Amino acid sequence: MTSQLINKRSQIDQIQRIALSLQYEGTSYCGWQRQSKDMSVQEVLENAISKLDPYRPIKAVAAGRTDSGVHAAGQVVHFDCSGPIPSSRWAAALNGVLPASIRVREAVLRPNNWHACHSAIYRRYRYLIFNACKPNLFLSPWSWHRYRYRLDDQLMSKALEGLLGRHDFSAFQRTRSQRIDAVTTVQEINLERNGDLIVLEIQASGFLYGMVRLLVGQLVALGEHRMSLKAFERRWKEGRRSEVREAAPAKGLCLVRAGYEEFIFSEPAWYDSFPKYSLAVLDSPKDPPII
């Protein structure tokens, strides 16, 4: 009996770091990070892990702190555990106790010095705009419906060209941000129209608080010809935050993936976690007015 207790204690003392490829539908949550009043994804996930591994305090660390209402298709999270569950079983075990709005795609064992946030070399977001006259119930939870005018996606794409590289993006940062500066590196950015859907994908070393939603709000104003290309460029290059008043709603934004120096998860669990929609041009609104 004593030997069995020693073996069990020894097993519990072996701390392992588990990395998760995580999806969540963010509508019902106040974002990733724990809050004092509202329910967060972090709180729900940590509670689920604690049910399965009650031997030590659990803290889940994410690659990106998504805001309230923002979705994730390939969030990366790590936590340390000391119980008997092997890494290969964590995905199925967690999906058995998590709500349907949170799913674990895959779980893998990582070195104890690996960090979901600090080891990441990029984060990639996708924003969906549904640019049709009539609403679509099945797209509503995942996109921003802009229906009055046909957005000028070519002008919107042109505006994005100058954003590549390392810049001060303080014009696209919410006032409650705790960052010391607003400098980050945009590694890739692309906007394309697929029927009545406009898809923006942006990859950067890191993102400012509210950056993508503020950027999309300005792009839509540009695409509806309510703002000139010159005004758009002046606002972000000169850091005119007071002029950036429109932010896109959270529901159109999704954290597609966080990237690392090495391939951590299998391709289906990581790269293919958010399929691209394809829509024919069936219900496009009229062209925007010339202003």
State pLDDT tens for residues 186-216.
999 999 999 999 999 999 999 999 999 999 9
Same fold, 2-110 and 122-270: yes
Burial class (CB in 10 A: 0-12, 13-18, 19+), 135: exposed
Name the residue ranges covered by the structural domains of the chain: 2-110, 122-270
| pLDDT for residue 3 | 44
Question: Which among 28, 22, 107, 113 is positioned nearest to 62, based on CA atoms?
Answer: 22
Q: What angle do CA 226, 166, 156 make, to 5 degrees?
A: 25
pTM over 0.95? The answer is no
Q: Does domain 122-270 have CATH number 3.30.70.660?
A: yes
Burial class (CB in 10 A: 0-12, 13-18, 19+), 25: buried
Distance CA 160, CA 172 (A): 13
| Average pLDDT of every residue of the chain | 90
State pLDDT tens for residues 139-172.
999 999 999 999 999 999 999 999 999 999 999 9
> What is the number of other CB atoms lying within 10 angstroms of the CB of residue 9?
10
Distance CA 104, CA 10 (A): 28
3-class SS of residue 168 = strand
| pLDDT for residue 273 | 78
Q: Give me the helix-helix angle, 229-237 and 211-223, nearest 10°.
A: 160
3-class SS of residue 19 = strand
Q: Which CATH number does the domain 2-110 belong to among 3.40.50.1220, 3.40.50.1110, 3.30.200.20, 3.30.70.580?
A: 3.30.70.580
Retrieve residue 147's tokens. 């229906």
* Residue positions annotated with a catalytic role: 67
For the chain, how are helix, strand and coil distributed in percent, rounded to 5? 30, 25, 45
Q: Is the pLDDT of residue 291 over 80?
A: no
Q: DSSP characters for 120-154?
A: -SEEEEEEEEE--SS--TTTGGGSEE--SS---HH
| pLDDT for residue 26 | 97
State pLDDT tens for residues 238-249.
989 889 988 999
**DSSP H/E element including 235:** helix 229-237
